[in-house]
Amino acid sequence: MFKINGTANINAIRVAAEKGIKRFVYVSAADFGLVNYLLQGYYEGKRAAEAELLSKFTYGGVILRPGFIHGTRRVGNVNIPLGLVGSPMQMVLQNAKPLTRLPLVGPMLTPPVSATSVAKVAVRAATDPVFPPGIVDVYGIMRYSEQK
């Protein structure tokens, strides 16, 4: 997991910087407390790639940290409508930000966000020269995706 989420992304970031690319958007992951420990290689890889991005793209690096991303997923010939679960959860949890600070369970109350919202913000962050660099959490992703 570290190789895919860390090493591969770090290599992509380094090559982009060497080629003179001005902006780089990286889709990382929100912190989920205990889950971070269970998926240690995944999260360590994500955070290592984030550190590399922030060091190589000080003024043009954007890190998106969504939680659960929902949308329709196609597996073989079957469409799995993850939005049937994710969309209602997003509606309930988007206004429960203070609950995310609860010990142990709080991070798991991070609201889901749609794949469309993440994509919209990623494109804007990559193409809008005044989009601020840095880390955008799930609440920022929801806020930016609603802007015109």
Domain residue extents for the chain:
1-96+108-146
pLDDT for the residue numbered 107: 80
Q: In the Cβ-directed half-sphere of 101, how many Cα atoms lie within 13 Å?
A: 2
Which distant-in-sequence residues (6+ apart) come within 8 Å of 119 by Cβ?
none
CATH number of this structure's domain 1-96+108-146: 3.40.50.720
Structure tokens, 128: 């809008």
d(CA 143, CA 148): 11
The answer to whether the CB of 69 falls within 8 A of the CB of 62 is no
The rounded average pLDDT for each run of 10 residues, N- to C-terminus, in the chain (148 residues) is 93 98 96 82 95 96 95 89 80 79 78 95 96 96 92
The answer to whether the CB of 11 falls within 8 A of the CB of 51 is no
